[in-house]
Structure 1
Amino acid sequence: MSVYRGHTGIYRADECLSIGAISVYGGRARSVGPNAPALPGPLPPGVASPRRRFRRRFRPERRHFRAGPSAGVAVSVAMRLPVPLRLQLRPGAAAAGPGYRQGQSPGPRIREYFYYIDHQGQLFLDDTKVKNFITCFKDVRFLAFFFKQLQPNRSGRYETQFPFVSLCGRERNFLRCDDRPVVFTEILPGTGTDTGTERLLSYCGAGDRLTIPFQPQNLVVSPRNGRLYHPAPTRVGGVGLVRSTLALEWDPCFEYELGPAQPPTHFNWEGRRYRLTGELLPLLHGGESADVTVTPCQG
């Protein structure tokens, strides 16, 4: 068995066949053993190196390679693999995440994409490695359309991993959640009322394109996780999570008649004192959803 020596240790030839071994194979190396192949010498002008031929053929990510003669040795070994085994070295072929590929086509003219929404109401592609405000979706029109089409996933595909799906023609956009698919992100002034005092709750970062009437009396704190919830559209379960920054802003408005260790009993809002009904508690524990009117999208 041929082996190769690098600055991090000695590796057998079959250990150099994976993409991970190529990245580890970073320093200058030399061959050892009676049958070990010699390191490749300088190439004639105009001849592509084994590394370049490998990249041109399989198009791996740039970070999978490191400069140095040892990388060329490992790649030359990989190029001598049988075709079926070479295909396993394609990035993503054996590491497709939780059994899917973004944009995969399970049928004619069908595309599937996979998303994730966190407890702050930020939407990401599910396989985004760093999830923060910079990498989340911010286009208001896209967010409004996406969540307006959202419904329980009864497609027969990924129902356990992604319990919701947003359909756009033949495109399926599967969604999984940190908590709930609807996260209320801000409160807006009321519109279209005689008094002008009714407020609207906006959700999932879509501004005034996705709103429901604010119902202070139906706020509820979950005894299981201490998070604050509010009624949401029926098609997504009837319960939505209130973003933590908004919940902290409302914290002084709650009263605890039964003691600070018990859930709040009243909510003071704009000069009125509301007794909390607790109607959402059964929904948080798997009951049926309540009926909530959704304000039509504008624009």
Structure 2
Amino acid sequence: MEQDPIDCINFEEEKNIHYTQGQSPEPSLREYFYYIDHQGMVSVRNHTTDKKFLVFFFKKLKMNTTNRYPEFPYLSLCGRERNFVRCDDCPLVFTHVIKTITTSGTTENRLCYGHAGDLLSVKFEPERVHMSPETGRVYHPAPTAVGSIGLVQSKLAIEFSKYFRFDNGEHNSPTHFTWDMTSYTLQTDWYDAIKEMTTQTV
């Protein structure tokens, strides 16, 4: 997605990361640099709301394993464009829940992300919702390609919080979550395991 070439964005200036939007390090290749905020909005200079672009962008999003711009942990390859990505917390931010009908005819809840309407989603697993007692932020599993953890947008997290139960006290993570009239015992091992693995690889 072409943008007007500009110097490094404000949130990078303090870190002394130098780049130009649309720079061409080699023929027929351009590089762009994106930021995803805690609400899941993708931006270069302004927020991007083109759903067609967002679907393609997120479907191609993965960990940045190149040696270029390691300060940008994620990369989305779109044809002849390299889109380097940083984020406030997690690159996937879940915004709302939808009900879909599976091929077998059953109803399935799904969590949507990326501000692309209902076009991007993962299966909603209520028993794996996790709230951090330190920050109050709420998380849910995400695809492994983007680090396996997604952030729940604050508006949806507030809605979820109405259905949390804190058997270990409100200064700890919730122990139960009620969704669709079903009470789930919350599993936090998945979140702890991923965070521990991430710490070990840093």
TM category (shorter chain) comes to 0.7 to 0.9
Which residue of the partner structure matches residue 131 of structure 1?
A: none
The correspondence for 1:105, drawn from 24, 27, 36, is 24
Q: CA deviation at 1:283?
A: 4.4
Distance, in Å, in 2 between the alignment partners of 1:204 and 1:169 is: 20
**C-alpha contact (below 8 Å) 2:96/2:111 kept by paired residues:** yes
Q: CA deviation at 1:153?
A: 0.8
1:272-297 CA-partner distances (Å, limit 9, x unpaired): 00000112332452427xxxxxxxxx
Which residue of the partner structure matches residue 154 of structure 1?
A: 65
1:138 aligns with 2:46: no
Which residue of the partner structure matches residue 25 of structure 1?
A: none
Which protein has the larger Cα radius of gyration, Structure 1 or Structure 2?
1
Q: CA deviation at 1:182?
A: 0.6
Q: Number of paired residues?
A: 187
Which residue of the partner structure matches residue 106 of structure 2?
A: 195
Higher relative contact order by CA 8 Å / sep ≥ 6: 1 or 2? 2
**C-alpha contact (below 8 Å) 2:30/2:80 kept by paired residues:** yes
The one-letter amino acid of 1:253's match is Y
Which residue of the partner structure matches residue 227 of structure 1?
A: 137
1:205 aligns with 2:115: yes
1:183 aligns with 2:93: yes
**C-alpha contact (below 8 Å) 1:220/1:280 kept by paired residues:** no
Q: Which runs of 5+ in 1 are unaligned?
A: 1-90, 129-134, 289-299
State how 1:79-98 maps to structure 2 within 5 Å.
97=13, 98=17
State the SS of the aligned residue for 2:159. Answer: helix
**C-alpha contact (below 8 Å) 2:127/2:177 kept by paired residues:** yes
Distance, in Å, in 2 between the alignment partners of 1:247 and 1:269 is: 13
Which has a greater percent of strand?
Answer: 2
Q: CA deviation at 1:110?
A: 1.0
Distance, in Å, in 2 between the alignment partners of 1:285 and 1:124 is: 26
Distance, in Å, in 1 between the alignment partners of 2:133 and 2:194 is: 10
State how 1:207-286 maps to structure 2 within 5 Å.
207-283=117-193, 285-286=195-196
Distance, in Å, in 2 between the alignment partners of 1:182 and 1:246 is: 14
Q: Which runs of 5+ in 2 are unaligned?
A: 1-5
Q: CA deviation at 1:141?
A: 1.0
